[in-house]
Amino acid sequence: MTTHSQSLLFPDLLEIIASPKPVNVASVPQRSPFRYPGGKTWFVPTFRHWTATMFPKPKILVEPFAGGGIISLTALFENLVQKAVMVELDDDIAAVWKSVINGDAEWLANRILTFELSREAVINEIKRLPRTQKEKAFQTILKNRTFHGGILAEGSGFLKYGENGKGIHSRWYPATIAKRILNLTTIADRIDFRCYDGLKVMQEFSYRRDVIYFIDPPYTAGGKKAGKRLYKHYELNHKQLLCACETLKGDFLMTYDNADEVKKMARSHGFQMRLIPMTNTHHATMEELVIGRDLSWMDAFPAVHEPQAEYTTRTIKKRRCNT
């Protein structure tokens, strides 16, 4: 298994993790065609640090809750892994990833470039029953870029004011989105996309030591209602997910909302936790929970700290997983 303690043998790697810079999201290449609710662009620098400490280099990244997929895309473009297994249950999102992988990127980019955006045109387009996967992909991109917060879940609606009062136009950058889609063709053959249950795919790879996992499940904060507002698929057995993590031979990194329930669960599995600051879409600074086996490398980030002592020192009964 690739471990962080092994990096002690490689001082150059240590230097990389000993000099973390504050997260500057603007410096992270935006490679995803989506603007994704709960998207992890802000986590990219941390993800890079994590993989930089690994020796030998992992071969495959499994992202069981891929969404907009920024972590997998970064890992492929920056050659942090050879291959990414991206898993997403939402068939609308899946249509985009499948179209890119199956050779329809050019068609999709063209459709985006030639679409004349107006409220009426969007309404007419999205009420049509798509006949092909690529048509469904186009509808998904259109909704994602014109709906409030990029949210596709039921009940979502058009951006009212958007940036500078530009309404539905405020996130529709046809040239940029088309370019991102076309760029993906250079890595498409290294993506193994599955519209499936992420937990099952984790189990499939669990015996492999050369695989790492970036796990970003739908959130629990605010209860089911909050999850339902953001994603079509929001219900998840979180206990089962943490049990699945225990079985993985490869290393994993999981991001979660900073909820007491989650911290108790993580602690009961003997996992480590750190809180990392991030700025949300409303420009408020919040802390997000990171869970893993050995997160000591994260202590090089000045703003990162362990959650309150009650979760780290109090004896919490060890959770038993049915195998």
Residues at the interface with ligand SAM (CB under 6 A): 36, 38-40, 64-65, 67-68, 70, 87-90, 197-199, 216-218, 231, 233, 236
Compute the least distance from the CB of residue 262 to ligand SAM, in Å: 13
Residue with Cβ nearer ligand SAM (85 or 199) = 199
Distance CA 100, CA 231 (A): 22
Q: Which is nearer to ligand SAM, 89 or 159 (CB)?
A: 89
Taking CA atoms, 120 is separated from 113, 117, 127, 158, in Å, by 17, 8, 11, 12
Q: Closest CB to ligand SAM among 87 and 275?
A: 87
User: What residues have CB less than 8 Å from 266, skipping those under 6 apart?
Assistant: 242, 256, 273, 289, 291
Closest approach of Cβ 5 to ligand SAM, in Å? 27
Comparing CB distances to ligand SAM, the nearer of 7 and 251 is: 251
Max CA distance (Å), the chain = 61
Q: How far apart are CA 25 and CA 41, in angstroms?
A: 7
- Kindly state the smallest distance separating residue 133's Cβ from ligand SAM, in Å: 18
**Closer residue to ligand SAM, CB minimum distance, 153 or 182:** 153
Q: DSSP of 31-94, one letter per residue? A: --S---TT--GGGHHHHHHHHHT-SSPPSEEEETT-TT-HHHHHHHHTTSSSEEEEE---HHHH
Q: Hey, is 238 helix, strand or coil?
A: helix
Report in angstroms how near the CB of residue 152 gets to ligand SAM at its nearest.
Answer: 9
> Is the bond preceding residue 56 a cis peptide, omega within 30 degrees?
yes
Report the nearest approach of ligand SAM to the CB of residue 189 (Å). 22
Three-class SS of residue 116?
A: coil
Min dist. Cβ of residue 221 to ligand SAM (A): 11
Choose between 135 and 288: whose C-beta lies nearer to ligand SAM: 288
Question: Residue for token digits 């949210």?
Answer: 151
